[in-house]
Structure 1
Amino acid sequence: MDMLQRFLFPNQLIPHGHCYLWQPGLVGLHLVSDVLIAIAYYSIPIMLVYFVRKREDVPFRGIFLLFGLFITTCGTTHLMAVWTLWQPVYWLSGLVKASTALASLYTAIALFPTLPAALALPNPEQLQQINQQLATEIEERKQAEASLRESEERWQLASQGTNDGIWDWNVKTDKVFYSARFKQMLNYHDDEFGDDFNTWFQQVHPDDIEPIQTALQEHFEQNTPYYSTEHRVRCKDGDYKWVLDRGKALRDETGQIVRMTGSYTDITARKMAESALQYQLAFDRLLSEISTRFIDLDPDDSGAEINRALQEIGEFIHVDTSYIFTSDPVNQTLTMCYEWVQFDQTPQIKNAQNLPQSLFPWAYKLLSQGNVLHVPSVARLPVEAAADQVNWSMFNVRSLISVPLMDQDLLWGFIGFASFSQERIWSASSIQFLKLFGEIITRTFQRQRSELALRRSEAELQNLNQDLEARVEERTAALKISEQRFRSLFESAPDFIYMLNLAGIIQQVNSTVIARSGYSQSELMGTPFLDFLKSENQDECKQEFLKLLTTGYHRHEMEFICKDGQTLQMDSSCTVVKEALPEPYILVLQRDITQRKQTEQERDQLFATVKESERRWQSFLNNVQLMVVGLDRLGQVDYINPHALKLMGYDAADVMGKSWFISFLPTEQQRQNQQRFQDILQHQAHPHYQHRLITQVGEERVIAWNSTLLRDLHGQPSGTLSIGEDITERDAVARLKDEFISVVSHELRTPLTAVHGALDLLHSGLVRPESQRGQHAIAIAMEQSERLVQLVNDILELERLESGKITLQPTQLSTYQLLQQVQGTMSLLAEQAGITLVIAPIDVKLRADGDRLIQVLTNLISNAIKFSDSPATVWVAVEEQQSVTDRRVKFTVKDEGRGIPADKLERIFERFHQVDASDSRRKGGTGLGLAICRTIVEQHGGKIWVESTVNVGSCFMFNLPANAESSMSSYPLSSMA
């Protein structure tokens, strides 16, 4: 303790003031200087520490702290100098100086490695260059962002223009943005569809999930530049739509996928068209295959082949049974000769033998006329088909179609297709294909009969030859008779018949060959048979000739060249007669099928032409922006194009087969238009007419029609085809124009009549202008002229408002200031009428056209004053209405007048409408004020209405969207008597 006392307060040393001889000036100079230096040295470290703490981004923070410590020790040294002026604590002062030396030395040592890094810091010029470069980069980034926004706007517009849905998938968060069109395409509202990937994935058809996953994987692995799939997705109502889904993945600098964006396109219509086209092509291929099989069909195989064809057609068009009936005109019966049924149905062929034609009188009559019998619903047949309906119901038939089989305009049978489980409608293309199948069956039966006749001829020849060989020795005389018979048959046969030796040389021909070919017998005899064939057939026949000698029989089509160069298509049957004497020979029978081939070629050409024509018409009808409706003779819809379905809001299944007049026309127009339809069928045509049409939602549309009579193959009327144009808007405009002209002419005529009458009295001299009556007449003319001018001005202003020629000029308004202006305008009128005008003390901010708003208020207040009897009060109030979605301002003008009857409240805002027609004479006005008020309010996006009680008063109210932040303040109540 003593040592510390001697250290801090040594007595053996003298204070430093003695060195200054305690001169006050000198001591004071050192004292003040050291104190000021110490204060400065202590304040500098404080500021350095504050600076380092506030700027943590500044480099070399340790140097700043070391300098602070160094300066702090220096300040302490100067404080010790002050203390040693009076106390000789030189040991303590020495220790302080030693610590200052250590701090300064350490700071100097630490400054060495820091100095190069500090020198590397940019100087002010370099900093200015860096700042300029940063400013340039910022400006470039702003431009890039503006370009990006512009590009995004163009992208949004493009996506809206293409009617595609847009999706943006954040792969890392699995969140997906779906555009409004995307959700709308699936019939969802914005809040009904989640924002994650799984929400969409659950809507995909199960059969399409694997292809989608494969396509995504291929794109993620960069095997494909884009992701693209066509798949089915389930809508809100459970139906599936076909969509084209396309997208592209976005990767970061490391190559990792961060986002994927794409579009969604509805391709359901295209898929349906492709399906319909594939259906027609498949039907065409099926008929082609059946036709090909039937060309070379052996009569023995015809039954099995016909049954096979019935099965293939029946399964293709999805019916429960298909069958062929033959008709016996002598016994007037119908017999089922072929039948195919589904595995779960019972065959009816045993029960359908020798059925009387009288069981189906209506159907048999149509089929006998060559018409296709198309019955979409057995339960909904016309009255004349009652007997047919009963008998079809016995067989459980619900829907059927039958194609007549005609031979020279005579019905010999028909092909039928029926459904037991459901009703159905066959399309026009399906009916056309079934008719072609009927032609194939008809030709098959004709060829079968011809083949059987030919076989009978061949059988007779073979039997004759066998009989001759067996009894040649015993009955020589009978042989001559048989030979004569053979010769007679040989010569009279309508076909070409040759006898060739085994070398193919003609030995004998019948007379038909000579008559039809133009060659003489000498030109034919001894000539190789191949010489009369086309060169293209000769090489083939040479090869087949060798097979013929082995097999003994061959059949082939070839072309025979007549002497005049004419080419005949021949169906040739060659038989080797080996048992003949004196040597075997070859018997050749040729049937001329030239006409048949030409018919088939013409049929194919006709089929191609019809198909192309049908394609063109179908394309036209599907794309024309007019209604196209086809009706059969009963007025039932058998065709309607997509535009008509879209306009009416129906699907094709809802319209086809329905009665056009009963189902889709108003009741009061059904009879008239049914009569028009009958007039067209009976050539008493009214092809141009119009009527109203009821859509699925109950809306009535006015359609102008141009109808054409359709005829069947026999020239008989079969229905109509009508083209319609929707003129609903045009009709409404015309009626509104007529009504407006009628009302305007009436309203103008009234004041003009009064003006004309007054002026006529003055002009005729019956009344002198200076007389009391003359002044009264002049007053009437002036009053009515002013009314006329007001009426014309109101009409012009209303027309300019409704046509958009007057543009609203919205500004930020205060309802308090607005009502102050209205009060200043209307107070004098109220005072003159003895009415108290009360304006509620509320101020609301809104954005509107002030002049037009004043016009609405003054008009309503003027009417309230005009139709109130003194003494009475008119109240004007403003109210702010706040809802979840918007904020609106409601204005109310209430009076104590006579009120408005309830039956006239709906029409009070119409043009020229007044509660009492005498009001325009007694109280003035044009009947257009409230119409102008309604137009101005609606153009602001608001609504105006009235509530009234007779003999109590009326309350007119309208509200406007505020479109601005509002504030409500109380002002002194403003009233005016």
Structure 2
Amino acid sequence: MSESTPGMRPREVLMQSGAPRPELTGEEALLLDRTHVLFLALDRKGCVSRWNRAMAELTGIPAAAVLGQPLPLSVFAEESRPMARSFFSASTQQSEATIELEMCGLDGGRRRMAWSRNGSPLDALAVVLTGTDITARHETEMRLRAEEAQARLLVEGSLGMICTHDLNGYLLSINPFAAANLGYTPEELVGRYMLDFMDVEHQHGWQSYWDAMAARGEEEGLLYVNRKDGSLCVIAFRNKLVQIPGAEPFVIGHGIDLTEKIEAEEKLRALMRQRESILESVGDGIYGLDMEGRIVFVNRAGAQLLGFTPEEMQGQPIHRLIHHSRADGMPYPESQCPVLATLHRAGPVRVRGDVFWKKDGMSIPVEYVACPLTHDGRTTGAVVAFQDVTERRQLDRMKDEFISTVSHELRTPLTSLRAALGLLSSGALAERPDRAEQMLDLAISNCNRLVFLVNDILDFERIGAGRLHLDCAEISAEELLREAVQRQAASASRAGLRFRVDAEPVRLWVDGGRIQQALSRLLANAIKFSPPNTEIAVRAQAVNEKEALIEVRDHGRGIPPEMLDSIFDRFRQGDASDSRASGGTGLGLALCRGLVNLHGGRIWAESTVGLGSSFFLTLPRAVSAFDKPMS
């Protein structure tokens, strides 16, 4: 027998010589006893003929107890015994095979063994079996399988989007959730090129993505891909390059679908823009407060009314900023502030007759409504909408003056009319026909004055309601001016005034009656405020092919510069005493502006105090018959 090499496996020991032999040598038997590999041999009757020390140590059964006996299956775990019976059967002695079986150790623990079965080169043996302890390897494999299964479940059951792709951009795998989110199955996506799912405008970051992978091995950002139905899906991703020795590198990616979040944010931004647009388009002031009474927002109109910018008011305590004092300058205690009280009340508060203080220290009269803001039944702040009522108060004052003036204007001619008619009806002037005729003239004059006043009021109302229509025709400017002057000639003569008409040969396309109405008001005003023995000039000239300019100039006391823009407003005169001293309702110039505007023209005044005033109005010139505008 050739000398065996230390560390050889039992099978290698037996197969060292290929010729069949009747028995093991002593050296071979010693070597098999010293190896840690399990070794047993069965004779042709299926009885144990070899049982090395490793078998004895594992099972606790000495060789002497089993030699010549059938193989004790009790050394195998119960579930492994049927397979062991078949595997160790002598009838299969000619076939080589391997199997893994659970064996019961002496300490009560289980060991996983990998058995190999081979035919024996010895005449006395039918089959040789060797076993290797693979418990640790088996446990490692089982743990790896469990971890792999767990990882697979985590990936497949994840509500995130998980995928892998190769370094050419082709998908290697994708979890079901991600595929379903895009409208596909995983099988439809694996192997597809990623750029196939992106529009051209969303491919601009593709190269920078690969540059980052090459430089850092990872990248994150937003990915815009198309779903199967064509809708856009926005994914926030974080990808990492994976390099495993012996395997092709790949990229694993994790993503979150932000589409709904981005759409919701865009809707929120749209609502915010809409809210800001509404706040900015409202002429009233609007501001919001937190529970400490500090301003959290204010629209631009509100800030401008108070002389601030919105940024200056942001975060400021409202009471100390604009509501610290009453109208008379006395301090306004915070405990009595209606705005702050709203923070602790269930309903809105409406306040009239209050004042807010501007940045420059001036106060403005205001009316406001303060409403609490609630969330889940809890007050979180308040919103206040306020109006500067300065103009309204001025308008109310002008209305009061107008009513007083109109009452005076109505009472005066009515009194004269009643007196004249009373004298006539009593017969007191029967013997004095000349005096009776004067009374009739007086009655007619006062009737005309009343008709004039009522027509002014009615026409002004029609213009405001858009119900005053024009009946335009071609007319000479000189003819129009001379007719207007003729109507006021008697009044001018009584006041010791004279007219001068200077008109270029200009033809106008106007409603003659309405322009006469406007010119009569301008000439009447000139007569009222001109000193005796002065001249009122009326002239007309062409401005261009489409417009003509008419001017009425007097040498009266003039108009203060600060009033030149407001005298055309309704109920406006120099002051209330003008109407009382010279007559008038305060509607004359406003009516003139309305009539001129209806013709598409403009009206304005220029004046020097103490030297007189000039009133200008532009009117459309007549054009060819084919180009004349419709009335």
* TM-score bracket for this pair, using the shorter chain length: 0.3 to 0.5
- Of structures 1 and 2, the one with the larger relative CO (CA 8 A, separation 6+) is 2
- TM-score of the superposed pair, with normalisation by structure 1: 0.29
Q: Which has the higher helix share?
A: 1
- TM-score of the superposed pair, with normalisation by structure 2: 0.42
